[in-house]
Amino acid sequence: MSSDSLLAQALQAGGDAPALGTGTRLVHAGRDPKRYHGFVNTPVFRASTVLSPTVRDLLGRTQPYIYGRRGTPTSEALECALCELEGGAGVVLCPSGLSACTLALMSCLEPGDHVLVTDAVYGPVRHACDGLLRRLGVEVSYFPPGTGAELGGWVKENTRAVYLESPGSHSMEVQDVPALVAMARQHGLRVIADCSWATPLFFKAHAAGVDLVIQAGTKYLLGHSDGMLGTVSASPRAWPALKALHGDLGLCAGPDEIFLALRGLRSLQVRLRQHEQGALAVARWLQQQEQVARVLHPALEGSPGHAVWKRDFTGSSGLFTVVLKPVPFAAVEAFLDGLKYFGLGYSWGGFESLALPLDASEGRLRALCEPGCQCVRLHVGLEDPQDLIADLRAGLDRMQAVDMDSLL
């Protein structure tokens, strides 16, 4: 849905144009209770068919909605809200974050093209680059996420796009988006960025010059670990191709997931502030523990890209990586298996805390960790930090005990 849609026009007519605070925007974005008898929330429209009163209306497509896949008042509400928050020309909704990533890539690439992808890219996107994109005849190069303007040296005659993720998965390396955008402009490349960690609240990607901004809505937008959703917001020049491919692939998100995202949006700022404070308290505590080699958290000094984070971001969220000094893997298992408040599982962005062991000998982590180190990714939820710290304290003690045993 583009920013000139009917709902967007109706909402603009409400006169909420300049300089609203983020909280106010989040509460009112995409909402028009007058349309629904005054009920506060946009209803869940479950729809395929939309009936027309006459043949003329049907064939002339005179009505605002045509078919379920093409949009409902529910999907339109979220698209409008995100259009406003991201500041793009249009937003599309996808059934998952991953489908949003592959859609964004495919919308600016053709057979014979070359794309530059950050080496810290989310694993399943890398899988899609190495499989799907290569099968479609697209050449892929992975570059170190810390590369700035020098990335110009990687550009070839057939390079068409740069794909960023900042901070990147697992290694949490922050990228110099303004420098990369300036380089991309010189060479006429599209810039795609996965901004799921920062959300539209902590990083203004379009303002920084990004063409296609991806959110894994599954994470903080929904925020409650109960649904899957992805979104892509486009700059004016990237919008027509994105919209066309989204239509051709027949992508649409489920009405319940969209409703959950709209509901999540209303509390996004409050939740993120809490995730931020909790994660910082836990991360700083971990930094002081003797079993910990380092903590990879963009808001901590010494974390890769910290200075860039400080310059470009307005906050940090709940996900970061802990590098543990060398211990046997059984010690890591003892640490994680007994945790009371950290669930063991994939994904993140929900209200609850999560822990996940990472292979420190793989990918970007290898360069950031001494040999033998173990890594754990934590998502700090909305629990009280002192309870999480006590839980981790007991876990590190269990880890230590196993490590000692292993030395006997």
Ligand X SMILES: *Cc1c(COP(=O)(O)O)cnc(C)c1O
Report phi then psi at 273, rounded to 5.
Answer: -60, -40
Given 194, 312, 391, 403, the catalytic residue: 194
The kind and range of the H/E element at 219 are: none
If the CB atoms of residues 175 and 196 are measured against ligand X, the closer one turns out to be 196
97 contributes a contact to ligand X by CB under 6 A: yes
Interface residue with ligand X among 2, 196, 233, 317 (CB under 6 A) is: 196
Shortest Cβ 399–ligand X spacing (Å): 26
Question: Is 126 tagged catalytic?
Answer: no
3-class secondary structure, 367: helix
* Total H helices, total E strands in the chain: 16, 12
Burial of 346 (0-12, 13-18, 19+ CB in 10 A): exposed
Q: Print the binding letters for residues 316-355 with ligand X: x by CB under 6 A, - otherwise.
A: -------------------------------x--------
In the bound state with ligand X, the residue whose beta carbon lies nearer, of 169 and 274, is 169
DSSP secondary structure letter of residue 391: H
Chain centroid, CA 117 distance in Å: 16
Piece of the chain touching ligand X by CB under 6 A; list 95-103, 144-152, 254-262, 322-330? 95-103
Pinpoint the alpha helices (H) of 72-154: 73-86, 97-107, 123-128, 134-135
Q: Which of these segments, 37-45, 109-117, 214-222, 366-374, binds ligand X (CB under 6 A)?
A: 214-222
Q: Which residue of 78, 82, 91, 98 would you call a contact of ligand X, by CB under 6 A? A: 98
Pairing of strands 230-234, 212-215: antiparallel
**Residue 228 interacts with ligand X (CB under 6 A): yes or no:** yes
Q: Does 231 bind ligand X (CB under 6 A)?
A: no
Q: Is 4 a catalytic residue?
A: no
Q: Which is nearer to ligand X, 363 or 395 (CB)?
A: 363
Burial 169-178 (b: 16+ CB within 10 A, else e): bbbbbbbbbb
Closest CB to ligand X among 89 and 214? 214
| Piece of the chain touching ligand X by CB under 6 A; list 105-113, 213-221, 273-281, 288-296 | 213-221
| Smaller CB separation from ligand X, 109 or 195 | 195
Determine if 91 is a binding residue for ligand X (CB under 6 A). Answer: no
Of these, 76, 79, 119, 194, which contacts ligand X (CB under 6 A)? 194
Most distant pair of Cα atoms in the chain: their distance: 85
Residue nearer to ligand X on the CB measure, 93 or 101: 101
34: annotated active-site residue: no
Q: Name all contacts of 300-308 with Cβ < 8 Å and 24+ positions apart.
A: 303/172, 303/174, 304/145, 304/146, 304/171, 304/172, 304/173, 304/174, 304/368, 305/145, 305/146, 305/166, 305/167, 305/173, 305/174, 305/175, 305/176, 306/174, 308/174, 308/175, 308/176
Closest CB to ligand X among 96 and 235?
Answer: 96
Question: Could you say which residues in the range 108-147 bind ligand X, by CB under 6 A?
Answer: 122
Q: Give me the count of residues in the chain.
A: 408
Catalytic residue among 46, 61, 69, 366: 69
Cα 382 from Cα 384, distance rounded (Å):
7
* Catalytic residue from among 25, 119, 122, 243: 122
With binding defined as CB under 6 A, does residue 216 bind ligand X? yes
Q: How far is the CB of 201 from ligand X (least distance, A)?
A: 16
For residues 1, 267, 342, 301, the Cα torsion angle rounded to the nearest 10 degrees is 90
Taking CB under 6 A as the binding criterion, the range among 47-55, 106-114, 212-220, 265-273 that sits at the site for ligand X is: 212-220
Shortest spacing between CB 2 and ligand X, in angstroms: 24
Q: Quick one: which of 373, 209, 208, 171 has its CA closest to 291?
A: 373
| Residue 69 is among the residues annotated as catalytic for this protein | yes
Residues 6 or more apart in contact with residue 375 via CB below 8 angstroms: 170, 321, 322, 323, 324, 357, 358, 359, 360, 365, 369
From 126, 204, 219, 294, the catalytic residue = 219
Nearer to ligand X, 180 or 222 (CB): 222
Which residues of this protein are in contact with ligand X, per CB under 6 A?
96-98, 101, 122, 165, 169, 194, 196, 216, 218-219, 228, 230, 347
Q: What positions carry a catalytic annotation? A: 69, 122, 194, 219
